[in-house]
Amino acid sequence: MTHTVKKTMAKNTGVLQKSLTGISGFDEITQGGLPLGRPTLICGEAGSGKTLFAMEFIVRGATQFNEPGVFVAFEEKAEELATNVASLGFDIKKLVSQNKLRIDHVHIERSEIEETGEYDLDGLFIRLGYAIDSIGAKRVVLDTIENLFSGLNNAAILRAELRRLFQWLKEKGVTAIITGEKGTGTLTREGLEEYVSDCVILLDHRVVNQISTRRLRIVKYRGSVHGTNEYPFLIDEDGISVLPVTSLKLEAKVSSKKISTGIITLDEMLAGKGFYKGSSVLISGTAGTGKTSIAASFAHESCRRKERCIYFAFEESPEQIIRNMHSVGMDLNKCVADGLLKFQASRPTMYGLEMHLVVITKIIRQFKPQTVIIDPITNLVNVGSTSEVQSILTRLIDFLQTQQITAVFTGLTLNNAIKEQTDETISSLVDAWIQVRDIESNGERNRGLYIMKSRGMKHSNQVREFLITSQGLYLEDVYLGPDGILTGSARKAHQLQQLTEQMLQQHSLSRNDKEISRKAKELDFKIRTLTSEFESIREELKNSYVETELKKELVEKNRNEMIRMRGNGKTVINKPATKQNIK
Amino acid sequence: MKVMDTTKQTWELRLYIAGHTVKSLTALRNLKQYCETHLKGQYKIEVIDLLLKPQLAEGDQIFAIPTLVRKVPQPIRKIIGDLSNEEKVLVGLNIVPIKSGI
């Protein structure tokens, strides 16, 4: 009753109401689930997951949305069905005992049945109606109704009855799923799509390069916007997970908070604080340049901040990584024991690319980490083409950004003509890109690290030497020598040489100082000698001057005396005096 | 052997109908006529109206209406439809027709 009310309401408002399936990801791509109160056709080949999808719809309805459901099985018996889905964590028996679920097995055995004359499928209607009413079901699954065609001969009656059945289901106001086997050239073998025209979903199971991928596509969804892409999906112990391929609206929230890389010197290169939270970082480099070490350092630092981190390892096993990182002073074991670090190791070839993405997003949703590390991303190229990897990464990075998760990818670059090719494909997607590179000179290889880009921050443009020691990871300034950049022992030698030069210089400086002061003293002495000499000369000159003056005075005096005496008129003393007198 | 068995046995037949529709009434009329002809005194017909007892539909795996179920003798046989074809019904129920029997 309530449903018919809802349905009419929906008609009145003109908006199609939807029923949430509870299937992870599916409600997103359909923007709310299946059409409420209408039948939906799910078709696909054998083993594509139709029954499971239908069963999950019913079970989720019963457990999460308090909508009891009826599952009409034309193929499997109730017990078989219960056993089959028990591996997915669905406890059918419990739900049945709680009256939340009803399984009705419609057994059609051709050999037992004889047809004669007119008949209809009222029996099925009544059974279904009784099952629906007995538990107040809002969801119904008919799996697989096409079995009627193999059990009964009169196709004309069946077709008419099916049309009536779907109409009846609509009137009943239940949200129904009808499954159908894919036919050749048609969606279903018996053309069920003719009758169920509101919503058609196609499940597919494809094998490309020996790797199988399950895909889902909404062929038709009357009265609703829906994604038209093929969405990969995964069946695992939690049921079905559909991965929305593109939610690329570029509306991710951004954070201006920065987080440390765990390498202090690297943080310094990144404006002193590290990367932005929620950004994506690519660490690329040739083999053995320490990409994993940098990534592990990031993970280690994240755990030290008491933040969760997932490490997706596609190359090494978790134990291998833990052991290796222990040798450079990182105790990842403790992080794992604390429940902050989770390793997820798998071979790239284990699933297709899409499936990897589904698995990754699923685990991320479960573990809710702040940091995610994928090491290395390039291994995924093994299972897909570069463009596929790029499309996967776009989606992954987008997903991580919307979740505000910082992501670190490592990428292997091959040291040949097409190097950085892999980098190029994703470099435009990531926010920061660190490159580690071999620098070979003087018979040794050293690691040079530099930041290719780091969006939204002032970062160092310097090449630094990257050192991996038993105490941890460090960056050293790279020396520019006359023959180019110096690293490793050449740098050491250069450093030593510089030190020597400095000491020598200091020494010579002090010698010069002494020389100067001695010279000063010497000159000072000389000046004093000269001054005293000058003094004595001056004294002498002065003396002679006084003497002359005195002499002159005496002569004057004497003459005056003479004149005075001559004035008496008696005595002439000497010739000059006489001469003067004559004058 | 077969003839011996069938002649001595009581036939338990169950006819499932849903309301008194034309098909249901035709089926019941036909059935009664066949039984009177070929199984006189040896048969029991139980008519179940699923509109009144819908819970019984599951037990006998009924999906079509009308359905005739032969409960005894074993094995269970089903005939769906208005039973308009006498020969088919008799073959379906494995009844040896009286006419050809004598």
B64/A114 CB distance under 8 A? no
- Helix residue ranges, H only, A20-88: 26-29, 50-64, 78-86
Residue range A260-303, pLDDT digits in tens: 888 888 888 888 788 888 888 888 888 788 888 889 998 998 89
- What does the pLDDT average to over A554-566? 88
CATH number for A414? 3.40.50.300
Instruction: Kindly state whether residues A500 and A362 are assigned to the same domain.
Output: no
Which residues 2-61 of B have a C-beta within 8 angstroms of A? 16, 18, 23, 26-27, 50-51, 54-55, 57-58, 61
Task: Give pLDDT, residue A486.
Answer: 73
Instruction: Kindly state whether residues A489 and A464 are assigned to the same domain.
Output: no
Contact A277, A284 (CB under 8 A): no
B64/A117 CB distance under 8 A? no
Both tokens of A212, joined, read: 């199988």
Please give the DSSP secondary-structure letter assigned to residue A14. T
Q: Which numeric CATH code is attached to B2-95?
A: 3.40.30.10
Instruction: Kindly state whether residues A227 and A362 are assigned to the same domain.
Output: no
Identify whether A252 is part of a domain.
no
Distance CA B20, CA B22 (A): 7
A112/B91 CB distance under 8 A? no
Of A477, A503, A520, the residue that ends a domain is A477
Instruction: Kindly state whether residues A300 and A441 are assigned to the same domain.
Output: yes
- What does the pLDDT average to over A470-499? 78
B55/A117 CB distance under 8 A? no
- Interface check for B101 against chain A (CB to CB < 8 A): the answer is no
CB atoms within 10 A of CB A205: 14
Peptide bond into B97 cis (omega under 30): no
A127/B26 CB distance under 8 A? no
Instruction: Kindly state whether residues A340 and A268 are assigned to the same domain.
Output: yes
Instruction: Kindly state whether residues A16 and A34 are assigned to the same domain.
Output: yes
Contact B50, B21 (CB under 8 A): no
B18/A126 CB distance under 8 A? yes
Of A477, A511, A541, the residue that ends a domain is A477
Residue range A219-228, pLDDT digits in tens: 888 888 877 7
Distance CA B68, CA B89 (A): 9
Mutation site for A-interface testing, chosen from B62, B80, B85, B90 by largest number of A Cβ within 10 Å: B80
Task: Give pLDDT, residue A382.
Answer: 67
Instruction: Kindly state whether residues A413 and A555 are assigned to the same domain.
Output: no
Contact A301, A262 (CB under 8 A): yes
Which residues on B lie below 8 Å from A113 (Cβ)? Answer: 78-80
Identify whether A500 is part of a domain.
yes
Least confident of A547-561, B3-17, B76-90: B3-17
Q: How many domains does chain A fold into? A: 3
Task: Give pLDDT, residue B102.
Answer: 40
* Coil, helix or strand at residue A231: strand
Least Cα distance to A2 among A249, A199, A175, A164 occurs for: A175
* Coil, helix or strand at residue A545: helix
Both tokens of A219, joined, read: 């062929």
**Closest residue on chain B to A153 (Cα):** B80
Residue A211 has pLDDT above 50, yes or no: yes
Residue range A103-143, pLDDT digits in tens: 988 888 888 788 888 888 888 888 899 899 999 999 999 98
Which residues on B lie below 8 Å from A124 (Cβ)? Answer: 63-64
Which residues on B lie below 8 Å from A148 (Cβ)? Answer: 63
Identify whether A247 is part of a domain.
no
Task: Give pLDDT, residue A524.
Answer: 94
Identify whether A250 is part of a domain.
no
Identify whether A112 is part of a domain.
yes
- Is the ipTM, as predicted for this complex, more than 0.90? no
Of A452, A477, A502, the residue that ends a domain is A477
Smallest Cβ–Cβ distance between A118 and the set B18, B81, B92 belongs to B81
Q: Which amino acid is at A315?
A: E
Instruction: Kindly state whether residues A216 and A326 are assigned to the same domain.
Output: no
Residue range A21-74, pLDDT digits in tens: 888 788 888 888 889 988 899 988 888 888 889 999 999 999 999 999 999 998
Instruction: Kindly state whether residues A556 and A461 are assigned to the same domain.
Output: no
Instruction: Kindly state whether residues A378 and A229 are assigned to the same domain.
Output: no
Instruction: Kindly state whether residues A418 and A535 are assigned to the same domain.
Output: no
A116/B81 CB distance under 8 A? yes
- Interface check for A113 against chain B (CB to CB < 8 A): the answer is yes
Both tokens of A199, joined, read: 């919503």
Identify whether A263 is part of a domain.
yes
Between chain A and chain B, the number of residue pairs with CB atoms below 8 A apart is 95
- Interface check for B88 against chain A (CB to CB < 8 A): the answer is yes
Q: Which amino acid is at A257?
A: K
- Interface check for B90 against chain A (CB to CB < 8 A): the answer is no
Q: Domain range holding A522?
A: 485-583
Instruction: Kindly state whether residues A444 and A542 are assigned to the same domain.
Output: no
Least Cα distance to A3 among A33, A40, A37, A32 occurs for: A37
Q: Which residues of A are catalytic?
A: 75, 315
